[in-house]
Structure 1
Amino acid sequence: MVTKPAPHRTTATGSGAENNQPRPILLIEDTPSLQMVYRSVLASAGHRVTVAGTAAEGLARFVDTRPQVVLLDLVLPDRDGLDLMQDMLRLRPETNVIVITANGSINKAVEAMRAGAHEFLVKPFDEQRFLSAVENARGASANRGIPRAAAPSPGRAQGSAFLGSSEAMARIQAKIRSAARSMATVFITGESGTGKELCALAVHDNSPRATGPFIALNCGAIPQDLLESEVFGHVKGSFTGAISDKPGAAAAADGGTLFLDEICEMAPALQTKLLRFLQTSTVQPVGATRPRKVNVRIVCATNRDPLDAVRRGHFREDLYYRLYVVPIHMPPLRDRGEDVIEIAEAALARFAAEEGRLFDGLEPGVRALFRRHSWPGNVRQVLNVIRNVVVLNEGGPVTLDMLPDDLADQQGFVAPSAAVSPAPSDDLALEGLLGRTLAEIEQLVIEATIARHGGSVPKAARVLDVSPSTLYRKIEGWGRT
């Protein structure tokens, strides 16, 4: 998992605490192991957390603690999570609820969004996505005047992706410092796991807007029919399930920075509205009769080639030129030389401290493997490997036999049996598809691609050149037939 650096927060005790720091996040999750994981991640990022294992306990704690953010699993042992969410929003409509659901229940999450949820997370999700959702929810609450912690100081975003003394990263740092001082739109490109959101945070934190909100929105993780509401907001009663006003990410970022991740996944109709927003600096929530003026800086990112998306007709050319003012390309880890060793050692020290264990660095064989490995998952993959080592071992020097089993496979090694097996010819492969419908062929190809990439939908989506949300919707559709 990728850990976003912890925001600076003040800790208050005594009767005045609620006035000086945000109220604790309420986590409603019935699985003890997931409770522990979510709570640990949130605590490491500086959040206070209150935990409940049932709907009844969750509602009681909601009334007692009056949280501004609720993390809610939709599947609970004593009650439907969606019904619980509606009760909480009736009591406190300003609460931001992040619903958590499994792959097979995305339609339930969409229903929750229509009923007033702030955002949803589909299991499995990585640590960075999880923490971003929580920070976005806090930012939206702050925009409505709900107390939150003081803004972080410049430099907060210098996390794992920015460790390293390579020439490539020195150039990135210099470009961030120059771009941050202006109001120009920044367009960040790079492979998955290279730290694009951390780069966006660095631009924000080194800018005159550092004391304002930083609102991140993943355009590829939200269903297209809900994306307009997420960006521009909606008013109560504007559609079925809109039980309260929702400001939207653009309004929540007023006075700060709006980060649009996976910008190339945005639907064409919404691209038109985004272009109008950039030209007029006004937002009009769904169902509203009048627009409102906002002061927002736009930073966007994609792991695709944006110009290729324009050529394919997936991305508006005029929007591309409007956004592509200051390009920053986050280099893949394989092009950063010794940075991988610095990142791994820093992660080892941090994770060991979190787990209360003592490690003595990386053995020479591990260092050599890390240097020659291609790291297709970039910094995120390095952190996952080190986290695995720390969790599953007691300490001492990190040796080759401590590394995850699949690291050698990702390195490109092929098992002898696979090396001598003849690959099927194109004719044989085609023969297996003849007689099937186009929909059946699509399902076969998607399922085979997901299986080939160890069940990872995001990896399969990159290979198939579609967004992960597209694959999740297709999988959900197959489950209903």
Structure 2
Amino acid sequence: MKTPTTSRPPLLLIEDTSSLQMVYRSILSGAGFRVSVAGSAAEGLAQFQALRPSVVLLDLVLPDRDGLQLMQEFLAMQPETAIIAITANGSVNRAVEAMRAGAHDFLVKPFDENRLLGAVQNLLKERGERRAEESGIVPSVESATLPDTSGFIGSSEAMKRIHATIASVARSMATVFITGESGTGKELCALAVHANSARASGPFIALNCGAIPQDLLESEVFGHMKGSFTGAISDKPGAAAAADGGTLFLDEICEMAPALQTKLLRFLQTSTVQPVGATRPRKVNVRIVCATNRDPLDAVRRGQFREDLYYRLFVVPIHMPPLRERGHDVIEIAEAALQRFAEEEGRRFHGLTPETRALLLQLPWPGNVRQLLNVIRNVVVLNRGGWVTPEMLPPGLADDLPARATSGPQPDPDLPTTDSLVGLTLAEAERLLIEATLARHGNSIPRAARVLDVSPSTLYRKIEGWKARAS
């Protein structure tokens, strides 16, 4: 869905690499945003003064000036400006510094289209809800841009049990704890709980605990007061207060720092939030839904997750099964996605051929529903229409299917073997595996994180730690 922007100033993108300028501008323009582009700090400052944009995407490394200094000048001229800082891979500390100085969000290169659009859309949504709150209008989930729900359909027994559980628990206040592999639709499950509850007209606030630096997470969850720390130029309500009267969805809950787990436990016990710098707590009415792609009980055993918090949250568990265990749901999801994507792209597709259906049912889908949706999107974008044949599927999707079926998984020659790990400490073995996986996937942290089944922020923190110890 394109977002109309003719009634407000354009976004200002300040990026000195011309190829990235073109990519980012194309993505944002394709989503309906008007974009003004600058290639240097001087050009960006001139455009900022002329356009007075409400949103700025700012690369922190510019050829003629430090990006943080430029950001502070923007905020001095127009404090309400929302700035999304862009930094290079391995410079997360710079992003944290920018957030402390007043940035609303940050992007670490390389990032994909969904991350870029999500950052901009979430920011505009947050501002729209704030304006609605100030004008006395109660924000609702219907007014927000909701995620595609085609991945939450299916008639398998597993999905029938999930829908039955949601129908039973939705109207209660019980905390729901969703588990499952990455890409199985945990956020869609949380949204279904919200939509079927008495809180459906209230806000649905989603917060990814693994995508926010730990030292900023408290402010994101509970908010902060103006002047409470350097860069706190205005009051920020935080996700818990923003979800008042609705649902707060805490994704990747097991990535939350132990100190913040203590505060979250207190919040669950008292239903009060106290922003950083505030002298008095505030009462809120929030329903908690959380999710993780890890085994939460294993995290408890390892001392990474508080046992008392686990039992407080683990009231109604829902496990989202991997797509490979959902049988014919693969076809139902693919056909629903094909119809929706075809309508969006203005194409006419008749459906899937029997050969394509058989192939989709055989594939292991390591990326689960997210991977399947990406495959169907690829088919629609690159083909004009007609019946979807196996030849239309992305190259390499099923190249190793016969080998996998007959001989089982084969060892990856680029990854360390068991023998090579013997004699190393656990930390050394972990680092060796992470570095080998990064090399195998072109040093792409998001792709390596998917393979290792951890959040990208976990890899960023480990890499920054190695660099700090080496210096």
Deviation of 1:128 after TM superposition, in Å, equals 5.2
Greater mean deviation of Cα atoms: 211-220 or 374-383: 211-220
In structure 2, the residue matched to 1:256 is 246
Deviation of 1:342 after TM superposition, in Å, equals 2.3
**Mapping of residues 6-155 of structure 1, within 5 Å:** 23=8, 26=11, 28=13, 30=15, 31-40=21-30, 42-43=31-32, 48-54=33-39, 69-75=55-61, 80-126=66-112, 129-130=115-116, 132-142=118-128, 144-145=130-131, 151-153=140-142
Deviation of 1:261 after TM superposition, in Å, equals 0.5
- Aligned residue type for 2:420: A
- Aligned residue type for 1:445: L
Once the two structures are superposed, residues 303-347 of structure 1 have per-residue CA deviations (whole angstroms, 9 ceiling, x without a partner) of 111122112211111111111122222221112222212222232
Give the SS at the match of 2:358.
helix
In structure 2, the residue matched to 1:163 is 153
Give the SS at the match of 1:397.
strand
Distance 1:421 1:161, change over 3 A: closer
Distance 1:239 1:123, change over 3 A: same
In structure 2, the residue matched to 1:179 is 169
Does structure 2 conserve the Cα–Cα contact (< 8 Å) formed by 1:139 and 1:213? no
In structure 1, the residue matched to 2:460 is 472
Tell me the TM-score normalised to structure 1 length.
Answer: 0.81
Give the SS at the match of 2:378.
helix
Give the SS at the match of 2:207.
strand
Distance 1:427 1:318, change over 3 A: closer
**Residue 215 of structure 2 is aligned to residue 230 of structure 1:** no
**Residue 437 of structure 2 is aligned to residue 449 of structure 1:** yes
In structure 1, the residue matched to 2:267 is 277
Distance 1:144 1:91, change over 3 A: farther
CA distance in 2, matches of 1:154, 1:457: 34
Note the residue ranges of structure 2 that are not aligned, 5 or more in a row: 16-20
Deviation of 1:275 after TM superposition, in Å, equals 0.4
**Mapping of residues 292-441 of structure 1, within 5 Å:** 292-408=282-398, 411=401, 413=403, 429-430=420-421
Does structure 2 conserve the Cα–Cα contact (< 8 Å) formed by 1:228 and 1:270? yes
Greater mean deviation of Cα atoms: 321-330 or 395-404: 395-404
Does structure 2 conserve the Cα–Cα contact (< 8 Å) formed by 1:154 and 1:206? no
CA distance in 1, matches of 2:195, 2:50: 35
CA distance in 1, matches of 2:234, 2:210: 25
Note the residue ranges of structure 1 that are not aligned, 5 or more in a row: 1-5, 18-22
Distance 1:273 1:376, change over 3 A: same
Once the two structures are superposed, residues 176-232 of structure 1 have per-residue CA deviations (whole angstroms, 9 ceiling, x without a partner) of 233222222221111111111122222223323223222211111111122112111
Does structure 2 conserve the Cα–Cα contact (< 8 Å) formed by 1:132 and 1:216? no
- Aligned residue type for 1:26: L
CA distance in 1, matches of 2:284, 2:414: 58
Distance 1:421 1:302, change over 3 A: closer
In structure 1, the residue matched to 2:194 is 204
**Percent identical residues:** 70
Give the SS at the match of 2:93.
helix
Once the two structures are superposed, residues 53-82 of structure 1 have per-residue CA deviations (whole angstroms, 9 ceiling, x without a partner) of 446676677667766554444455665443
Distance 1:89 1:175, change over 3 A: farther
**C-alpha RMSD over aligned residues:** 3.8
CA distance in 1, matches of 2:171, 2:106: 34
Does structure 2 conserve the Cα–Cα contact (< 8 Å) formed by 1:158 and 1:202? no
Distance 1:274 1:63, change over 3 A: farther
Once the two structures are superposed, residues 447-476 of structure 1 have per-residue CA deviations (whole angstroms, 9 ceiling, x without a partner) of 112334565534544665654212113334
Deviation of 1:297 after TM superposition, in Å, equals 1.7
- Aligned residue type for 1:120: F
Deviation of 1:400 after TM superposition, in Å, equals 2.3
Tell me the TM-score normalised to structure 2 length.
Answer: 0.82
Greater mean deviation of Cα atoms: 362-371 or 232-241: 232-241
Give the SS at the match of 1:187.
strand
Deviation of 1:396 after TM superposition, in Å, equals 3.6
Once the two structures are superposed, residues 76-103 of structure 1 have per-residue CA deviations (whole angstroms, 9 ceiling, x without a partner) of 5665443343333334434443333332
Once the two structures are superposed, residues 22-60 of structure 1 have per-residue CA deviations (whole angstroms, 9 ceiling, x without a partner) of x577252541122112332x44xxxx5444344667667
Give the SS at the match of 1:145.
helix
- Aligned residue type for 2:380: V
CA distance in 2, matches of 1:419, 1:202: 39
Deviation of 1:266 after TM superposition, in Å, equals 0.5
CA distance in 1, matches of 2:411, 2:160: 45
Does structure 2 conserve the Cα–Cα contact (< 8 Å) formed by 1:157 and 1:205? no
Deviation of 1:423 after TM superposition, in Å, equals 11
- Aligned residue type for 2:74: M
Once the two structures are superposed, residues 367-409 of structure 1 have per-residue CA deviations (whole angstroms, 9 ceiling, x without a partner) of 1110111111111101121222333334443332332233125
